[in-house]
Amino acid sequence: MPSKLEPRVLIVEDEPDMNNLLAEVLSAYGFGSIQAGDAEQALAALDRETPDAILLDLMLPGMSGLELCNLLKTSRTRRTIPIIILTALDRPVDQRHGFETGADDYMTKPFTPEGLVARLQACLDQCLDARQSCGNLQRTIDLGVALADLKVINTLATCLYCFTEFTPREIETLRSGLMGLSDEASQWSATRRGASPVKMSVDLNKERLQVRFRPAAGAEAAAFVAEHLDPEAAVPSSFTDAGLIDQMRSEDGELVMEKILPPQGAAS
């Protein structure tokens, strides 16, 4: 019987040898494991118990790893389970797709046991910290410079699932909009030696959700903000239509989107 203090990891991997190897590695470092060969088995395992984390392969028979990740990360009850994608797909576009579906981390094969366990523990620690800070979440990133900004967007989504009464559809509208904006900023950055067009700050507490955008210096960054963050542009208008923004204003050189949150438990 595993110890109650032993972290439990759900391994979703269709190759039996790799699945067993992962279980052996985890056991050697003090982790218990639950083994599943496909998404169907994984969902059945999740009905029986809630693991501390999930190691997820992408190339699964039937429902793909990305589809399973998206399914779990749009569930209010399962959203907080950390998911680390572990796959042979190593292109930047594959990594971006992984984070866009809600993954908390992305590792490629081959891997070392030490590296895997270190990333797993770091992911567990980061997700715990994020959950504990949901009542007062503050993050600032240079949008589009690194995949780390996608992690921040996913952390915001997790906190919205845990801390607010936004519907999953509303939260996913916000998350996908910010992901799309990150992708546009990444393309902009790629042609300008890695510079970011805009700095994004997130502030979530019990009273409000506020997202601020500060353009980088220069006419090109200002043009990026004008194109993508004008109130009539796709992302802001989708937020307004979904009721995710009460007001949008300019303040001290920043564009501010704000939503006043009702007290938890209040009628919608």
pLDDT tens track for 117-134: 999 999 999 888 888 888
Q: What ranges make up the beta strands (E) of the chain?
A: 8-12, 32-36, 53-56, 83-87, 105-108, 136-142, 198-205, 208-215, 247-251, 254-260
Give me the residues paired with residue 254 across strands. Answer: 251
pLDDT at residue 3 in the model: 47
Q: Which fold has domain 8-132?
A: Rossmann fold (3.40.50)
Report which residue type is found at 205.
Answer: N
Is this model's pTM higher than 0.75 or not? yes
For residue 130, the model assigns a pLDDT of 83
Q: Tell me which DSSP letter residue 265 carries.
A: T
Tens of pLDDT, residues 203-231? 999 899 999 999 999 999 999 999 999 98
Q: Say whether 136-260 and 8-132 share the same fold.
A: no
For residues 115 and 250, what is the distance between their CA atoms, to the nearest angstrom?
45
Low-confidence ranges of the chain (pLDDT < 50): 1-3, 267-268
Residue 264 has a pLDDT of: 65
Give backbone dihedrals phi and psi of 186, rounded to 5 degrees, phi first: -65, -40
Evaluate whether the domain defined by 136-260 bears CATH number 3.30.565: yes
Residue type at position 136: N
Q: Residues 185, 190, 176, CA angle at the centre, nearest 5°?
A: 30
In the numeric block, which tokens belong to residue 34? 């639950």
Amino acid 4: pLDDT? 53
Instruction: Determine contact, residues 143/51, Cβ cutoff 8 Å.
Output: no
**Domain range list for the chain:** 8-132, 136-260
pLDDT of residue 267: 44
The count of C-alpha atoms lying within 13 angstroms of the C-alpha of 67, restricted to the half-sphere facing its C-beta, is: 11
